[in-house]
Structure 1
Amino acid sequence: DLGSATFCISNEDHTLGNALRYIIMKNPAVSFCGYSVPHPSEYQINLRIQTDGSITAVDALHKGLDDLVDMTTHVKESFKDKVKQGEFEIHDGADIHAK
């Protein structure tokens, strides 16, 4: 069944896993998307995608990755524009060096 697959993605963690899960689930052809980290000491995620059969799980992953790149590019450009225009505030007491 090409509508279901689990992808093992090395060198990634919850940061990419949760973002991908969120954006892939916005696709109406996707019925399920979830991820897990097999073990805390392993730096990898297992991403499971199930579709309604109108697209393959691989196509859903590719679309999700493309959509995530588009979203992060938009956020980056919006941030740069606001900084350039001076449209931001630093509030008193804000620790801009916080970790």
Structure 2
Amino acid sequence: MLNGDEAALFCCILWSIWKQRNNKVWNGVIEAQVVVLERAKVLLQDWRAAKSYQQHSSRIQNTADSSKWKKPTVGQYKCNIDASFSKHLNKVGIGICIRDDTGTFVLAKT
């Protein structure tokens, strides 16, 4: 069972592997494994720094205003994504919700 830090690193490595695959398929770029791992470590460092900053700034900012959903521009769709990890249950949850430019529900997946 992974602890919180290990789970976070694991998720970042998975994302970096996905990024490596996309770079190969769409851009013809082949990356070494060391690049994949380094990108995952940097992603995790950046995420932790952003989370720390967000926790600090959320004390100052009114979160009710910043968390209100906004419609996409006319003719566009908006896809909201959220994910969570429970270290106690060792489970990951991911969900998406797509809405059109009027805010009407189109599709959701979990």
Same fold (TM over 0.5): no
Greater helix share, 1 or 2? 2
TM-score normalised by the chain length of structure 2:
0.41
Q: Using CA pairs below 8 Å that are at least 6 residues apart, which structure has the higher relative contact order? A: 1
TM-score normalised by the chain length of structure 1:
0.45
